[in-house]
Amino acid sequence: MIRFRHIHKSFGKNKVLNNIDLAVGGPGIVAILGPNGSGKSTLIKSLLGLVIPDQGEIFLADEKINRQWKYREKISYLPQLARFPENLKVKELSNLIKDLRQQHACREEELIRLFNLESFLNKPLRNLSGGTRQKVNILLSLMFDNPVLVLDEPTVGLDPVAIIQLKKWLNQERKDGKLILLTSHIMKVVEELANEIIFLLEGDVYFQGTQSDLEEITGESNLEASIAGILMRNNAVSDAKSNQTPMLIL
């Protein structure tokens, strides 16, 4: 359903995406993993049209979406850090988002009940705790019934009960045929949810496949150990290169 074809992106001299070429089908939950600076956020923002690639093409359901906007109606996006107008009440912000998207928020009431937000709807956002703000973030992102969900660190700030509720919700969305892309630094969440893993390293696709495939390749027994092993080997290679004695060419 989503195809990145030969995507390059640099910010000044910093090359962030280096010839990314991958396809993601659906339905299912695909985890996009990698260390800080690996290109995860830039790849996601390229899909959303928030970053324009220097080269390459992006397709959604066989439609080329470079420099387009209409396709965004098919995507629900949950940002990692949601910055809300502090003076608005939760209900006012919800109505504002619905007016902007011009879509029917058919999942709104269900999500309000799921995360026990009823008592917060008429409270200003400045008075909410970090965990409650993240629940509002989830509400605003997922209240529309779209075929593609893009979730950037969705469990940040959530209490254990809310995390369980969110995982149940996402599993049901997968069963209903949605394609869900998520990033997370919490490997337990990825292990429980993801059908497929994409691991980015220094702007390249290092791995794409299942968790069991990755464990077999790395020789580790779980996802966290597999990721740690990749990063330690990569750091060791980088250190070895940096410690090489430069040759004097005469």
For the chain, the structural domain boundaries read 2-82+147-156+163-236
Higher-confidence residue of 91 and 239: namely 91
pLDDT band for position 250 (50/70/90)? very low
pLDDT of residue 53: 95
**pLDDT tens digits for 123-171?**
999 999 999 999 999 999 999 999 999 999 999 999 999 999 999 999 9
pLDDT band for position 239 (50/70/90)? low
Average pLDDT for the chain: 90
CATH architecture of structural domain 2-82+147-156+163-236: 3-Layer(aba) Sandwich (3.40)
**pLDDT tens digits for 90-122?**
999 999 999 999 989 999 999 999 999 999 999
Contact (Cβ atoms closer than 8 angstroms) between residue 16 and residue 10: yes
Rounded Cα distance between 175 and 172, Å, is: 5
Q: Is the pLDDT of residue 25 over 90?
A: no
Closest among 119, 151, 152, 111 to 135, alpha carbons compared: 111
* Out of 31-40, 149-158, 238-247, least confident range: 238-247
Rounded Cα distance between 227 and 26, Å, is: 24
CA–CA distance from 129 to each of 4, 80, 126 (Å)? Answer: 38, 16, 8
Higher-confidence residue of 221 and 82: namely 221
Rounded Cα distance between 146 and 149, Å, is: 7
Angle of helix 160-175 relative to helix 130-142, nearest 10 degrees, comes to 10
